[in-house]
Amino acid sequence: MSQGAVGNDVVDLDDVSPASERTRQRFIERVCAPSERELLAQSDDPRTLLWVLFAAKEAAFKLASKLGPVPVFAHRNFIVDRAPLAGAPFSVTLPSAVRARGTVDVHGRAIHAVAWVGEGEPHREVIVGPDARAALLVHLGLEEARVVRAPRADAYDGLGPPRVEVRAQPHPVDVSLSQDGRFAAFALVPVRA
Amino acid sequence: MEQQAEVMGKVVEILRPFVKNADALSSVSMETSILKDLKVNSARLVDIVLEIEDAFGIAVSDEQADQVKTVGDAVTLIMKTGKA
CATH number of the domain encompassing residue B53: 1.10.1200.10
3-state SS of A83-127 is CCCCCCCEEEECCCCCEEEEEEEEECCEEEEEEEECCCCCEEEEE
- Bridge-partner residues for A186, per DSSP? A125, A177
Burial B68-82 (b: 16+ CB within 10 A, else e): bbbbbbbbbbbeebb
CATH code for the domain in which residue A132 is found: 3.90.470.20
Q: Indicate if the pLDDT at residue A21 is higher than 80.
A: no
Report how many domains make up chain B.
1
CB of A17 within 8 Å of a chain B CB? The answer is yes
d(CA A190, CA A72): 27
Q: Indicate if the pLDDT at residue A18 is higher than 60.
A: yes
Least reliable range by pLDDT among A2-6, A158-162, B3-7, B65-69: A2-6
> Residue A85 belongs to what domain range?
5-190
Please indicate whether, in this complex, the C-beta atoms of A19 and B49 are within 8 angstroms of each other.
no
Please indicate whether, in this complex, the C-beta atoms of A19 and B42 are within 8 angstroms of each other.
no
Please indicate whether, in this complex, the C-beta atoms of A30 and B17 are within 8 angstroms of each other.
no
> Residue B19 belongs to what domain range?
4-81
Please indicate whether, in this complex, the C-beta atoms of B43 and A23 are within 8 angstroms of each other.
no
Mean pLDDT along residues A41-68: 94
Least reliable range by pLDDT among A144-148, A159-163, A189-193: A189-193
Confidence bin at A6 (pLDDT 50/70/90): very high
DSSP state of A72: P
Confidence bin at A180 (pLDDT 50/70/90): very high
Least reliable range by pLDDT among A59-68, A69-78, A83-92, B36-45: A83-92
CB of A23 within 8 Å of a chain B CB? The answer is yes
| The total number of residues written for chain A in this structure | 193
Please indicate whether, in this complex, the C-beta atoms of B47 and A17 are within 8 angstroms of each other.
yes
Please write the tens of the pLDDT for every residue from B22-39.
788 889 999 999 988 898
Q: Indicate if the pLDDT at residue A40 is higher than 50.
A: yes
Q: Nearest by CB to A17, which of B35, B44, B69? A: B44
Q: What is the pLDDT of residue A28?
A: 94
Q: Indicate if the pLDDT at residue A17 is higher than 80.
A: no
d(CA B56, CA A141): 52
Interface test with A, best of B14, B18, B62, B67 (most A CBs within 10 A): B62
Confidence bin at A1 (pLDDT 50/70/90): very low
Mean pLDDT along residues A62-76: 92
Q: What is the pLDDT of residue A36?
A: 95
Please indicate whether, in this complex, the C-beta atoms of B42 and A58 are within 8 angstroms of each other.
yes
Is residue A180 helix, strand or coil?
strand
* Sign of the four-CA dihedral A123, A85, A102, A7: negative
| Chain A residues whose beta carbon lies within 8 Å of the beta carbon of residue B41 | 180
Q: What is the pLDDT of residue B2?
A: 58
Q: What is the pLDDT of residue B84?
A: 38
**Residue A89 vs residues A82, A92, A103, A114: alpha-carbon distances, Å:** 9, 10, 5, 10
Average pLDDT per block of 10 residues along chain B, 84 residues long:
85 92 87 90 91 94 92 95 62
Q: Nearest by CB to B46, which of A31, A156, A180? A: A31
